[in-house]
Structure 1
Amino acid sequence: MPKAVGIDLGTTNSVIAVMEGGRPEVIVNAEGARTTPSVVAYKGEERLVGQIARRQAALNPAATLFEVKRFIGRNWNEVKDEASRSPFTVKEGPGGSVRIEVNGKDLAPEQVSAEVLRKMVADASSKLGQSIKDVVITVPAYFDNSQREATKQAGEIAGLNVLRVINEPTAAALAYGLERKGNETVLVFDLGGGTFDVTILELGDGVFEVKSTSGDTHLGGADFDQRIVDWLAGEFQKEHNFDLRKDKQALQRLIETAEKAKIELSSASETSISLPFITFDPETRTPLHLERTLSRAKFEELTSDLLRRVREPVQQALNDAKLDASKIDEVILVGGSTRIPAVKRIVQDIIGKTPNESVNPDEAVALGAAVQAGIIQGDSALGDIVLVDVTPLTLGVEVKGGMIAPMITRNTAVPAKKTEIYTTAENNQPGVEIVVLQGERPMAADNKSLGRFKLEGIPPMPAGRAQIEVTFDIDANGILHVTAKEKTSGKESSIRIENTTTLDKTDVEKMVREAEQNAEADKQRREKVEKRNALDSLRVQATQAIEENAGADQGLKDRVKALADEAEEAIRSDDDSKIADVQKRLEEGLRELMTAGQQAGQPGEAAPAGQARKDDEDVIDADFKPAD
């Protein structure tokens, strides 16, 4: 049975892990790294994913997409600020959704995330020697229903079977508590690239029970980076009267430099920032440079309001769990941004104890997701593990007067199911529109609308007589399903969701087909490159053989030289048949030359008649790949 894997689909970086011998292990990618940048670049017909995409971002800012997780499952009004800061074009899509424009084509954030998932699973499949289809994907605990559904759809677009969507802090707790005995109350503090979560769990006897969760889906490491970007751009504007944020290439360089500076300030008291030739003077066209020194104290000053924002969710989680900070046994730090010294100080100040840093903040979530995948697949090495998670936000419906009537309150254990009876407000009302909401505010307009469900075909009757049974059902992924029926007549009516920011089934199926077509096209392009690389290697070998076999017949050497020149010309062409023909003839000529050189007393071993040397076979038949 093929193994299921766990994937931490991160804002900045992503990680994939699998259970091996009863323990979760990170799977390195094709580049040999344990993390994969969540970056996708489009260059003509080619798609680049991961580190290779990140490396070319400064020269291709409009078509290099990063931090897309901040847009997934969101509506346009929620992300306008983040969109305005991106070097690439983010705009409003159908039904108030979010779309990213690349090379004249609009992409859903789910499509972009699917590219990252596909690359990671393909690399893992190659490493494990088996085709992977079953995955567990993590999401921030404070993701709402639309964001969870969109993440699941990203997996489906990538051609994967998403077994479960699991909260990131809960996954980290699984990784932390897998081999620990005894009872503990643990607070997981998860500050990633784009989101912030706080989750309190009780661990003991194989049971991982979430007591409460809180967070901020608009707070992450990218916001800390942005403060450095704004500071650098502001300093430069004072000096040169030019806003670097209006230049896409300059903005991309600022973003990359800001992230590096933030990382360096986690271990150093100050860092030097140098960006030569950042732009040109618009009047004189002379190059302009940016040189600054940023101290840790200045960085903390620039981010002081962000640092204050991490306090409230921690206190909210404690209040919801009905716990005093002194009752927390361990604090687990998750997410790269928890390395910021000021963040660690705040955590220690609130909880009153030094955070536990025994788990790798970059890998803990993926490791826990792998554990969950193992549980689902019945991995006997894991024993009996029970995971009880909660829904992060209250779910309800809009009622007369523009109020929200809660159906399932936040921090309710999932799966959960709740049914309530509603009625009509007018005589002979033929149908009702049920607006499903998520949030904690009393007025419907202040919460997020997840969809509008229409129940039609209600028989004529006085106002208040109809009995409309509405059922909210949250599955183990934290994804909501809603049904409705009219009880008085016994007649059930179907419902349909409108104005949701996630993709409908038809869109997902279309994107799956496009992804498969793109994967085949990418494979063909890769094969073309490999054929050219193979012929180029053979050409270089032939050129060296001409020099090394000086005693061979001059006519034979001239013929091989002509074939090598022909190979060089074929490599520049787009004719695969020509490449194959030249390669075949050059292989034959090279064998003749090597044999002639050996017979003439040249050093080296001649190949048997009709057979290339083993060295030649390695060159010709090797599984070539582009250089890093």
Structure 2
Amino acid sequence: MAKISINIATGSLQQAEMIVGIDLGTTNSLVAIIHPETKKPVALKEHGTSSLVPSIVHFDQYGNATVGEEAKQYLETEPQNTIFSAKRLMGKSFNDVKNNAGFFTYKVIDDNTDSLVKVQVGDTFYSPIELSSFILKELKQRAEHILKTPVTKAVITVPAYFNDAQRQATRDAGKLAGLDVLRIVNEPTAASLAYGLGLQMDEEKTIAVYDLGGGTFDVSILRITGGIFEVLSTNGDTYLGGDDFDRLIIQHWLQQNNLSEDLLHNNKQLSQTFRLKAEEAKKYLSSNDEFNSSITSPLTTHHSPIAPYALRLTTKDFNALIQPLIDKTIASCSNALKDAGVNKAEIDTIVMVGGSTRVPAVKNAVSAFFGKPVNDMVNPDEVVALGAAIQADILAGNNKDFLLLDITPLSLGIETMGGLMDVLIPRNSKIPTKVGRQYTTHKDGQGSMRISVFQGERDLVKDNRRLAEFNLTGIPGMPAGMPKVEVSFLINADGILVVTAKELRSGVQQSIEVKPQYGLTDGQVEQMLMDSITHAKDDIKTRALVEARTEGEQILGVTEKFLTKNSSLITHEEMLNTAAAMQALQLALTMEDKNLIQAKTEELNEITRPFAERVMDAAISTAMKGQKILE
């Protein structure tokens, strides 16, 4: 075992520091603080405006980004340049999202790999991290404008089901926006804090958090014991929300007026008008029995006159329309209870989160299912951000009633291809903690792997502090990508880091004794954090370039191998086109232009995809005949 001692006694934050809480949502995002005078959490908003910032980014022809309400107007007119729901892409590969690719109106790149998904706007490629950073930057600027003070530290919330990669991607987005992300908090935990749950140290409660937003639904069962929140289970549907309620209303109105859905497909402006009316009707019916309105259609074809469409909807009809969707959420609640091993009677409180929980039929269904009234006293749009602000206040040391566990002052990770730092334990993680991640070889027959452990916040290991290094040897000779090496980091209660590497297929395990290194001073920790924020833009740029190069080189290698093995099945013209695309990519790799490399990689993918599929079909049909499969 490699043992490395880490000094976790870093300086506490001063009280005067303003730390904000951010709810980075799929549909809307917002920022909240603890009001210095009232000591109560408040969502920040300009006078007379909403606290919600739509999570939408629009790029103009020069690549300039606008965020929020201003970007929203381009959803219908410039769908290919307007990015919504970027949160759904966080930490995902194309293979993760390909089944729902039709949902996005912008170009999500299919590179047939497990690398992180990219979005193409014009000739530029953006990662979901960059897209989310635009939203976070907007929130940061909004907070600074309202508070008239610089904002550099934040607590950001994520869904309870977010995995390690998605949480790290959220941290990176914060860093790119110029924010030091002190803690990533689960949304249900934040919502519970906003309701004052878990603030008493002797409190023991089991709660359900029902979160129905604009585009996503999830339910989490939490156990709170002595101020510690444990997520027992989470369930839901990442493609179910208030937007679906609106869609059902629109379909109802189309039938009412004998109109086909093609009318809206072919007329984006009319489609947007219908959508806004549907949203209006949904909100109106929360406190009224019937909605009546009309839309005057613009001239759509040579034959159709300008006609007003009558839009009528009763609460009874609306409830009947959405009942199947509500039933789906109740089934999720049932599954979450089952997974948590908890029955309905054991749930002490049901917390409602998300704008769509304002619909009375939703509240009634949830209340009926759990057999008790729901808790919806806090604004459901703001509850998560308010909870994040409470957590931020605790971190700032302003809430003395709360005991904070020891935390790691700097991120810990290992070196991966291209000299990149892959963080396993992000800074400010509570300890003790244990994290494991799988890696593989990138050369055929590779028998050993160097494990280099680093501490720091920069994207390249050369800018961080090396803590230890050892070799995992004796990996059986296998093709590249076949071995599965699990690297696990364990920080015990004393702040000692133990690093283990194990090849899972063969069971080979390697360890080394490392002399303990002395911890860093508070000043050095502070300097490393400052460097990570000031260099964030360059670091992310360098990381993106290194990742693009690595991906380009791998594709070149794979293509070359493929051509050699299957030359008889590829036409002369295909060979020439592929060779030209390979040459173009080879040339692009020598340049410092990430977008060019990605564009040439995508072009090579496009050229090879048809014959790669053909070869695969041939291989399958041969195998079906009982013959040897083509390599």
TM-score with structure 2 setting the length: 0.60
Residue of structure 2 equivalent to 1:302: 321
Cα shift at 1:29: 4.3
Equivalent residues in 2 for 1:133-532 (5 A)? 133-177=152-196, 181=200, 182-203=203-224, 205-232=226-253, 238-239=258-259, 242-277=262-297, 279-284=298-303, 286-287=305-306, 289-384=308-403, 416-417=433-434, 430=447, 458=474, 470-472=486-488, 484-485=501-502, 490=510, 509-510=540-541
Cα shift at 1:148: 2.6
> AA paired with 1:10?
G
Describe the SS at the equivalent of 1:280. Answer: coil
Asked whether the 8 Å contact 2:187–2:384 carries over to 1, the reply is yes
Task: Note the alpha carbon deviations across 1:357-397, whole angstroms, 9 max, x for none.
Answer: 22221111001111222223322445336799xxxxxxxxx
Q: Does 1:15 find its partner at 2:30?
A: yes
Residue of structure 2 equivalent to 1:73: 91
Task: Note the alpha carbon deviations across 1:495-528, whole angstroms, 9 max, x for none.
Answer: xxxxxxxxxx9997129999xxxxxxxxxxxxxx
Q: Does 1:6 find its partner at 2:21?
A: yes
> AA paired with 2:272?
Q
Pair 101,248 (structure 1): closer, same or farther in 2 beyond 3 Å: farther
Task: Give the Cα separation in 1 of the matches to 2:340 and 2:75.
Answer: 44
Q: Does 1:27 find its partner at 2:48?
A: no
Q: Which runs of 5+ in 1 are unaligned?
A: 389-412, 433-454, 476-480, 493-504, 515-628
Pair 230,164 (structure 1): closer, same or farther in 2 beyond 3 Å: farther
Task: Give the Cα separation in 2 of the matches to 1:489 and 1:98.
Answer: 33
Cα shift at 1:79: 4.1
> AA paired with 1:67?
S
Pair 456,262 (structure 1): closer, same or farther in 2 beyond 3 Å: farther
Asked whether the 8 Å contact 2:159–2:188 carries over to 1, the reply is yes
Residue of structure 1 equivalent to 2:59: 42
Asked whether the 8 Å contact 1:29–1:36 carries over to 2, the reply is no
Describe the SS at the equivalent of 1:163. Answer: strand
Cα shift at 1:16: 0.7
Task: Note the alpha carbon deviations across 1:427-463, whole angstroms, 9 max, x for none.
Answer: x99479xxxxxxxxxxxxxxxxxxxxxx98536699x
Describe the SS at the equivalent of 2:259. Answer: helix
Cα shift at 1:347: 0.9
Cα shift at 1:130: 2.1
Asked whether the 8 Å contact 1:266–1:340 carries over to 2, the reply is yes
Q: Which runs of 5+ in 2 are unaligned?
A: 1-13, 408-429, 450-470, 492-497, 513-535, 546-631
Task: Give the Cα separation in 1 of the matches to 2:282 and 2:99.
Answer: 21
Cα shift at 1:340: 1.6
Task: Give the Cα separation in 1 of the matches to 2:234 and 2:158.
Answer: 13
Task: Give the Cα separation in 1 of the matches to 2:130 and 2:406.
Answer: 30
Asked whether the 8 Å contact 1:42–1:63 carries over to 2, the reply is yes
Pair 471,297 (structure 1): closer, same or farther in 2 beyond 3 Å: farther
Which range moves more in the overlay, 116-125 or 187-196?
187-196
Task: Give the Cα separation in 1 of the matches to 2:204 and 2:341.
Answer: 18
Task: Note the alpha carbon deviations across 1:246-302, whole angstroms, 9 max, x for none.
Answer: 43333333333333332223222332353323x533333744554321233333333
Cα shift at 1:139: 1.2
Task: Give the Cα separation in 2 of the matches to 1:14 and 1:506.
Answer: 22
Asked whether the 8 Å contact 1:207–1:386 carries over to 2, the reply is no
Cα shift at 1:92: 2.7
Asked whether the 8 Å contact 1:233–1:245 carries over to 2, the reply is no
Task: Note the alpha carbon deviations across 1:136-159, whole angstroms, 9 max, x for none.
Answer: 111111233343333223222222
Task: Give the Cα separation in 1 of the matches to 2:216 and 2:406.
Answer: 23
Task: Give the Cα separation in 1 of the matches to 2:501 and 2:397.
Answer: 35
Q: Percent identity?
A: 37
Asked whether the 8 Å contact 1:137–1:162 carries over to 2, the reply is yes
Aligned equivalent of 2:130, options 93, 107, 111: 111
Task: Give the Cα separation in 2 of the matches to 1:352 and 1:138.
Answer: 29
Give me the CA root mean square deviation: 4.3
Higher relative contact order (CA 8 A, sep 6+): 2
Asked whether the 8 Å contact 2:80–2:107 carries over to 1, the reply is no
Task: Give the Cα separation in 2 of the matches to 1:218 and 1:166.
Answer: 22
Based on CA coordinates, which of the two structures has the bigger radius of gyration? 1
Task: Give the Cα separation in 2 of the matches to 1:38 and 1:423.
Answer: 36
Task: Give the Cα separation in 1 of the matches to 2:256 and 2:245.
Answer: 17
Task: Give the Cα separation in 2 of the matches to 1:169 and 1:414.
Answer: 21
Cα shift at 1:91: 2.7
Task: Give the Cα separation in 1 of the matches to 2:360 and 2:538.
Answer: 44
Describe the SS at the equivalent of 2:325. Answer: helix
Asked whether the 8 Å contact 1:58–1:253 carries over to 2, the reply is no
Task: Give the Cα separation in 2 of the matches to 1:108 and 1:289.
Answer: 43
Task: Give the Cα separation in 2 of the matches to 1:323 and 1:357.
Answer: 22
Task: Give the Cα separation in 2 of the matches to 1:362 and 1:421.
Answer: 37
Describe the SS at the equivalent of 2:34. Answer: strand
Which range moves more in the overlay, 339-348 or 67-76?
67-76
> AA paired with 1:304?
Q
Task: Give the Cα separation in 1 of the matches to 2:249 and 2:405.
Answer: 43
